[in-house]
């Protein structure tokens, strides 16, 4: 049984009568993530101006994925949630990959559309 975390003044124990572990993410963490997101946005724009050939879209998508991951983990609290929530999020992205991969397998096996 986890110890109750004293993050807020709650003498009547209204929020959490069963003393479930509940992590409150602080504004400091949010500020750090916010700054990182803005920095990555600037990085994406600058990287777009440099000719890196086939790596331009790869880098742009990699930065976007990183931004998405830190929004999910911190702004959406997933890092502090139960395994159920984490698996749910993972399942969502897995199904998205299935969507893209299976549809792509259809199109790349044909030649129409290309000119």
39 binds another protein (CB under 8 A): no
104 binds another protein (CB under 8 A): yes
Rounded CA-CA distance 95/100 in Å is: 9
Sketch the per residue contact string, 13 through 32, with another protein: x for CB under 8 A, - otherwise.
xxxxxxxxxx-xxxx--xx-
Smallest distance from another protein to CB 49, Å? 5
Which residue bears the tokens 């990182």? 36
Smallest distance from another protein to CB 109, Å? 13
Rounded CA-CA distance 80/77 in Å is: 6
Backbone angles phi, psi at 15, to 5 degrees: -65, -40
Rounded CA-CA distance 115/111 in Å is: 9
113 binds another protein (CB under 8 A): yes
Q: Which tokens is 86 given? A: 């984490």
The torsion angle over the Cα atoms of residues 32, 34, 35 and 41, rounded to 10 degrees, is: 140
63 binds another protein (CB under 8 A): yes
- Residues lying near another protein in the complex (CB under 8 A) are found at 1, 7-10, 12-22, 24-27, 30-31, 33-34, 37-38, 41-42, 44-45, 48-52, 56-57, 60-61, 63-64, 67-68, 71-72, 74-77, 81-85, 88-89, 91-93, 95-96, 99-100, 103-104, 107, 113-115
């Amino acid at each position: 049984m986890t110890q109750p975390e004293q993050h807020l003044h709650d003498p009547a124990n209204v929020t959490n009568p069963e003393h479930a572990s509940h992590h409150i993410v602080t504004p400091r963490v949010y500020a750090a993530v916010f700054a990182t997101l803005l920095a990555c946005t600037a990085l994406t724009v600058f990287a777009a101006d440099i000719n890196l050939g086939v790596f331009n879209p790869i880098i742009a998508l990699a930065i976007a994925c990183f931004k998405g991951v830190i929004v999910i983990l911190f702004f959406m609290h997933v890092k502090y949630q139960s395994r159920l929530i984490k698996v749910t999020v993972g399942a969502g992205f897995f199904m998205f990959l299935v969507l893209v991969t299976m549809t792509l397998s259809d199109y790349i096996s044909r030649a129409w559309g290309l000119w």
